[in-house]
Structure 1
Amino acid sequence: MLILHTSDWHLGRSFHGTGLLQAQREVLVQMADTVRDRGVDLVLVAGDVYDRALPAADAVEVLDGALAELVTAGAAVVLTSGNHDSAIRLGFGGHLMGASGVHFRTRMDEVTAPVVLEDPDGGRVAVYGVPYLEPRHAGQVWEVDPNHTAVTAEAVRRIREDAGARFAGQEQETAVITMAHLFAAGGAGSDSERDIGADTPGGQAGQADCSSEELLVGTLGQVPVSVFEGVDYAALGHLHGRQRMAETVRYSGSPLPYSFSEAHHTKGGLLVRTAGGAVTGVETVDWSAGRKLAVLRGRIEDLMDNPDHAWAEDRWCQITVTDPVRPPQAYRRLKERFDGLLNFVLDPDAGAAAVRSTYAARLAAATSDLEVCTGFVEHVRQRPASAAETALLTTALAESRAELDDEGRAA
């Protein structure tokens, strides 16, 4: 059997204010082409199917079309809910859809309800879908400690127990595959994942997206890979970079990049092959949809004139300008060359910029009205006032004084 492991579709997500739904449609078409061309029997989606608990109508429409296309291409599908999904909404109609080959696993009580498929190469495959487990709720229901490690370990324990009882004494060997949505200890995060550690006691559920550095502060949200001992393959979701945690514990990563920290990721999925009730191999499959990403950094003149940056002209760009003084109209100038500029950052080279006093200190030291005005321009623009700006301010001050003098004489 050939199984396509995917996760983190995040349908309906935007990227720095730019909608990604068309790119998501394109990559899902490529996914269906892989199913058709490679003869994939089963597609796994390990959580974060949608980007939000209340997905927009067009995102729901994209999922509906994608599932129909995958089934038409010849594959069954198993989806689990992630921390971005509403488990109830995602799983609605699941019992009916299971008859068509689309299986949702979004509730705790479905952890021991495997999707069992006969392997064309002998044996069978049992897929146990573990939805995202909120530790406080799952810990209370299962009477274990309310943390990610304890509830995940309990879910896997129940899976091993169920598989042992369900398939005991049968001639066919069974490959046990577990889907889970979590942060595995040692995994590499990116800037586009939500910190599921915030859902532990003392954290804040629903926290905004965090950087990878914030994700790795502490270990409350991280689960050791060892909890998956005893299963033949763990198809993980949540981290957006494709990575191998152990030979049979892997992240497929997201099918599209969702932050500039993923600019160097190769996006796609994993093809897992089974035979005779065992996992016999894992290989990558790559997809490409929408604009690629570029991350540039440097002085404004180099960014504007250097032909070595031509490769980034048709990409979505994050550009950091390092000039010691903010160049005039820097964003507008860069946008002329890189029309996909989405994130502009000013970060002067360390040690290059002269030490600037605070605006209050400059104001206190000003000896004229003109210095007050040019000091304000420097404070707002993060650069000294230009000659043209200084001349304009000089004229404005002179005209203001003349008008005041005329009013005084009139009085």
Structure 2
Amino acid sequence: MRVLHTSDWHVGRTFHGRDLLEDQEAVLSGLADLVTGERVDVVVIAGDLYDRAVPSGEAVETCVRVLSRIREAGARIVITPGNHDSAARVGAFAEFAAAGGLHLRTRIARLHEPVLLDDEHGPVAFYGIPYLEPDPAKHVLQSSAAEVPGATERLESRGHTAVLTEAMNRIRADLATRTARSVVLAHAFVTGGDPSESERSIAVGGVEQVPGSVFDGVDYVALGHLHGPQVLAEHLRYSGSPLAYSFSEAAQRKSVWLVDLDADGLAGVEPRPLPVPRALATVEGRLGDLLTAPEHAELEDCYLSATLTDEVRPLEAMRRLQERFPHAVHLEWKPAGGRATAPLRYAEVVRGRDDQALTRGFVADCRGDEPNESERALLDEALRAVDVAEVRR
């Protein structure tokens, strides 16, 4: 059996205010071509199908179109929700969807019940562990703990490790009753993984990581949550997100894993790169240089994060930057040589200064340069208008 491991689609996400639905649909629809070209039997999505618990109508429509194309290409689909998803919404109509080859594994109480899919070697058991928020998940698991030997004692511990350990114990117990190869989908932060800036923290009590040994005893674990593709062990991998969702991911090569299972279990795993609708880039320098330097021409079609080093904060910097770089989305001002960083108490700053000095000082502090003559006149006129308003009140 050939499995395509994906995760963290985050359909409906924006990038510094830019809508990404068109880019997301372009990349994710390409998975259908991979299904056809690589003869993929099953596509798994290990959490964060959507970016919000209540996705927009447009995000849902996009997701339906993508999943339909994958299904039409011949692959069955297994999905489990992540920390961005609403498990109840993702799992709606699960029984009906399964009849059409879309398997939604969203219920904690049933995480030990696999989707059984057959190939020429027999069944493969796909177990979906939805994202387990420790306290709510523990409550659900404790409701049946008496039926599972040792569960009550294991669930006395706190945090992600306790609930994931119990989830995997139940999966291994079910697997022991079957003659089947196994794939587990899980949305978690496993120790050794390398995070980026675009994941939402799942820390509880300061501890969000779980050891990889929790997932021992199965043929392959398709992990979701971290957005960079990475290998923690041969059978334990993150596919990462299909698009970059922060500038910390600019150097990542987005991909999915092509997983082969033979009669004995895991036979091999290979990456398959994904297209990049628009590259990410960062640049630093004086605004005037950025707007004229020919070596920056290759950045004009990128999502751009710019750091300006002008000694004085440039006026309308983003508007001017976007005249050359229309996809500039993030801007910082860090003047060359730095600025005074000695802490000042508010009372010390304002002591002995009148309103005129304070307003002029505020402009100078924000912009890095004293206001010019016309700006001083404008500030003085504003102060006079305030004084008149106070008299009339």
* Separation of aligned partners in 2, 1:222 and 1:295: 30
* Separation of aligned partners in 1, 2:316 and 2:377: 22
Aligned to 2:34: 34
* Separation of aligned partners in 1, 2:128 and 2:380: 72
8 Å CA contact retained: 1:327, 1:383: no
Instruction: Normalising by structure 1, report the TM-score.
Output: 0.83
Cα distance, 1:123 vs. partner?
A: 4.1
Q: Helix, strand or coil: the match of 2:185?
A: strand
* Separation of aligned partners in 1, 2:240 and 2:266: 20
Q: Helix, strand or coil: the match of 1:67?
A: helix
Aligned to 2:293: 306
Give identity over the alignment, percent: 45
- Pairs within 5 Å for 1:119-268: 119-120=119-120, 122-140=121-139, 141-142=141-142, 143=152, 144=155, 145-167=157-179, 174-197=180-203, 200=204, 202=205, 218=206, 220-268=207-255
RMSD of aligned residue pairs (Cα, Å): 2.6
Cα distance, 1:364 vs. partner?
A: 5.2
Residues 322-373 of structure 1, C-alpha deviations (whole Å, 9 max, x = no match): 2333234332322221111111111234x4446689687676576995x655
Q: Helix, strand or coil: the match of 1:326?
A: coil
Q: Helix, strand or coil: the match of 1:50?
A: coil
Cα distance, 1:251 vs. partner?
A: 0.2
- Pairs within 5 Å for 1:233-382: 233-349=220-336, 351-353=337-339, 374-382=360-368
Give 1:390's aligned amino acid: E
- With over 3 angstroms needed to count, the CA separation of the structure-2 counterparts of 1:82 and 1:298, relative to structure 1, is same
8 Å CA contact retained: 1:184, 1:224: yes
* Separation of aligned partners in 2, 1:110 and 1:241: 29
Cα distance, 1:378 vs. partner?
A: 0.7
* Separation of aligned partners in 2, 1:294 and 1:281: 34
Q: Helix, strand or coil: the match of 2:184?
A: strand
Instruction: Normalising by structure 2, report the TM-score.
Output: 0.87
- With over 3 angstroms needed to count, the CA separation of the structure-2 counterparts of 1:109 and 1:352, relative to structure 1, is closer
8 Å CA contact retained: 2:359, 2:379: no
- Pairs within 5 Å for 1:32-71: 32-71=32-71
Q: Between Structure 1 and Structure 2, how many residues are aligned?
A: 371
Q: Helix, strand or coil: the match of 1:165?
A: coil
- With over 3 angstroms needed to count, the CA separation of the structure-2 counterparts of 1:396 and 1:382, relative to structure 1, is closer
Residues 38-59 of structure 1, C-alpha deviations (whole Å, 9 max, x = no match): 1110000000111111111111
Residues 68-110 of structure 1, C-alpha deviations (whole Å, 9 max, x = no match): 1111101000000111111111101101111111100001122
* Separation of aligned partners in 2, 1:187 and 1:166: 31
Residues 203-257 of structure 1, C-alpha deviations (whole Å, 9 max, x = no match): xxxxxxxxxxxxxxx5x11111111111111100001111111111000001111
- With over 3 angstroms needed to count, the CA separation of the structure-2 counterparts of 1:114 and 1:373, relative to structure 1, is closer
Q: Helix, strand or coil: the match of 1:302?
A: helix
Give 1:126's aligned amino acid: A
Give 2:77's aligned amino acid: V
- With over 3 angstroms needed to count, the CA separation of the structure-2 counterparts of 1:160 and 1:307, relative to structure 1, is same
Matched, 1:390 2:373: yes
Residues 1-39 of structure 1, C-alpha deviations (whole Å, 9 max, x = no match): 211000011111111111111111111211111111111
Cα distance, 1:118 vs. partner?
A: 2.0
Unaligned runs of 5+ in 1: 168-173, 203-217, 405-411
Give 2:104's aligned amino acid: F
Q: Helix, strand or coil: the match of 2:182?
A: strand
